[in-house]
Amino acid sequence: MLRLRSAFVPLSLYAFVFVTACGPRGAAPLETETAQVVKSAEPSTREPPPAPGEAKDVSLPPVDVTELDNGLQVNTIVANELPVVYATLVVSSGAESDPGTLPGLAGLVASMLKEGTTKRTSARLAEDVEFLGADLWASSDEENTYVGIRALAGQFDVAMSILAEVASEPAFKAGELAKLKKRELDRLALAEREPGYIARRTFYRRLYGDHAYAAVDTTPAAVKRVTRQDMVRWHRNYFVGKNAFLVVAGDVTPEQVATAAKKDFAKWRPGRRVIPSYGSMPTRKGREIVVVDRPGSVQSVIYIGNLALPRANRVWIPLMVANQVLGGSAASRLFMDLREKRSLTYGAYSAIVERVQTGPFIAYASVRTDVTNEAVGAFFEHLEVIVKEQPSSDELANAKRYLSDSFPLRVDTPGKLADLVVELRTFELPDDYWDRYRRAIRATSGSEALYAAREYIKPDKALVVIVGQAADFAESLRQFGPVTVVSPEGEVKAEFGPQPRSKSSEPRAKDAPAAPIH
């Protein structure tokens, strides 16, 4: 406050200085106290910030692991800096377990878990959670279904009993199911108007074919068809001790957690660990370009990618480094070229998606319709370079620094620590994986990054999905490969064969050395 007052100059004094400065030519400047104050308020030359020091390894708190008689694994992380606790029950079945006729069933079950139990109505459950000052959530993804709660450490026992009740005794009431169906149908109707949603759905369907990962959401037909009996059956089959694990992180002790888990989950059946039947993944021998026609669109949403690798693969970290150079952030090649240099988009990125089985590599952007072809060409320029040439020493150093230095942001709360343990268990990573994580990033060499990119980024066999006004650009995309134009529902509307390429225009591949992986 004092510093602000000393820098304050009344408007009348500024006016006085201005009049003096504009006086007769040759008049002597008036050196007044006010002028000195104004002078002193001018910004001084700043020194550049010091260079960052070498990153230190981050050691996670140890994970205490016990197992209940029914097979439920209990993981506890003591993090008592704050009086809060996070508890997450993870059922190791998600969308990959959905019946073929009911895509999205796992997600619908997760949504119904918060809509009342056999002991509490939906409204009563919400009131009781709010009274605790807690948060309760339930969700599902491709691999898992989650039920979690965050509460003050002093309310841990009550919070755990609510978590267990929600997970163990859902009511699946007909009235609540009817409300959920209406919400879901409204959500899907809105999603059908979003080009990004259409692009993602089409990309995964084409990329995975009959594999379980092909479905990214439920469908209106499935929502209308699903019954209470379907939900009860799915819940009974998968919510069992050997098919789940519990992660608790915060201001608790392993003894507290074990005692509460035994009390609250004692009635769970052991069941069995369910190994999903994923189905086969298609192989792609060349590029495939799919244009989803959306007349009237002023933008094109572009997805380019291929099947890459499972999360537990030992090449994951070198590929992550290569991807960071390519498109992992706003400082990466794709963003700096397509946005900063060419002004084609607000942002262009790439990513490796985590999956138990093979996950995809994806590069993506939204661009103006009239620059769709230029943007696709720019993407392929960068994809071809990343698999042929090692990153420069500066690019490699910056990519590794970004990934290594941002990791502490993933361990600064008990909830984030719990998420890391969930990742360990989901992908069956070693218990010391996160302790070695930053060191492995910093040890990645340019040749290792190139090797990973060559193995798992396939520009010549890429699937390209573009959602936009096909009449403006579809046929001219032949220069990149065969083009199929479809409706949002998948009906084929037109096909264009690939444009022949002259031998002189074909890029020459440079040999990339095979590199050992840390």
CATH number, residue 214: 3.30.830.10
Question: pLDDT by residue (tens digit) across 158-175?
Answer: 999 999 999 999 999 999
Residues 326 and 408 in one domain: yes
- Label residue 172 left, alpha or beta by phi (over 0 means left) and psi (-120 to 50 means alpha): left
Q: Tell me whether residue 516 is in a domain.
A: no
355 and 302 in contact (C-beta within 8 Å)?
Answer: no
C-alpha 377: how far from its chain's center? 26
Tell me the one-letter amino acid at 281.
Answer: M
Give SS3 for 435: helix
Residues 431 and 350 in one domain: yes
C-alpha 504: how far from its chain's center? 40
Q: Is the pLDDT of residue 25 over 80?
A: no
**H or E element at residue 73:** strand 73-78
User: In this structure, what token pair is assigned to residue 490?
Assistant: 């998948």
Query: CA-CA distance, 366 to 55, in Å (whole number)?
Result: 35
Q: Tell me whether residue 52 is in a domain.
A: no
Question: pLDDT by residue (tens digit) across 37-56?
Answer: 444 445 557 777 776 666 56
Residues 101 and 135 in one domain: yes
Residues 468 and 368 in one domain: yes
Q: Tell me whether residue 55 is in a domain.
A: no
Residues 328 and 443 in one domain: yes
pLDDT at 50: 74
Evaluate the CA torsion angle 111, 108, 351, 491 in order and state its sign: negative
Of the candidate ranges 248-257, 283-292, 416-425, 503-512, the one whose mean pLDDT is the lowest: 503-512
Rounded average pLDDT over 203-218: 95
Residues 233 and 294 in one domain: no
Q: Tell me whether residue 210 is in a domain.
A: yes
Share of the chain above pLDDT 90, in %: 82
Starting at the earlier edge strand, list the strands of the sheet with 84-91: 63-67, 73-78, 244-250, 84-91, 145-152, 135-140
List 360's β-bridge partners, or say none: 307
Q: Tell me whether residue 46 is in a domain.
A: no
Q: Tell me whether residue 282 is in a domain.
A: no
- Label residue 116 left, alpha or beta by phi (over 0 means left) and psi (-120 to 50 means alpha): left
271 and 242 in contact (C-beta within 8 Å)?
Answer: yes
Q: Is the pLDDT of residue 236 over 60?
A: yes
pLDDT at 14: 37
Residues 258 and 366 in one domain: no
φ, ψ (nearest 5 deg) of residue 103:
-60, 140
Residues 428 and 302 in one domain: yes
pLDDT at 365: 98
List 257's β-bridge partners, or say none: none
Q: Tell me whether residue 47 is in a domain.
A: no
Instruction: For residue 290, give the nearest of 381, 199, 402 by alpha carbon.
Output: 199
Domain boundary among 213, 231, 264: 264
Query: CA-CA distance, 109 to 88, in Å (whole number)?
Result: 17
Instruction: For residue 362, give the nearest of 350, 354, 372 by alpha carbon.
Output: 350
Q: Is the pLDDT of residue 335 over 90?
A: yes
Of the candidate ranges 30-34, 248-252, 261-265, 438-442, the one whose mean pLDDT is the lowest: 30-34
Query: CA-CA distance, 118 to 73, in Å (whole number)?
Result: 25
Q: Is the pLDDT of residue 21 over 50?
A: no
Range of the domain at 358: 288-505
**pTM exceeding the 0.75 threshold for the entire prediction:** yes
Helix and strand totals (H; E) in the chain:
18, 13
Residues 342 and 461 in one domain: yes
Q: DSSP labels for 438-506?
A: HHHHHH--HHHHHHHHHHH--GGG-EEEEEE-GGGTTGGGGGGS-EEEE-TT--EEEEEPPPP--GGGS
Q: Tell me whether residue 513 is in a domain.
A: no
Residues 364 and 482 in one domain: yes
**What's the chain's average pLDDT?**
89
Domain count within the chain:
3
Residues 135 and 221 in one domain: yes
Question: pLDDT by residue (tens digit) across 96-129?
Answer: 999 999 999 999 999 999 999 999 999 999 999 9
pLDDT at 22: 42
φ, ψ (nearest 5 deg) of residue 319:
-65, -35
Residues 106 and 144 in one domain: yes
Rounded average pLDDT over 212-228: 96
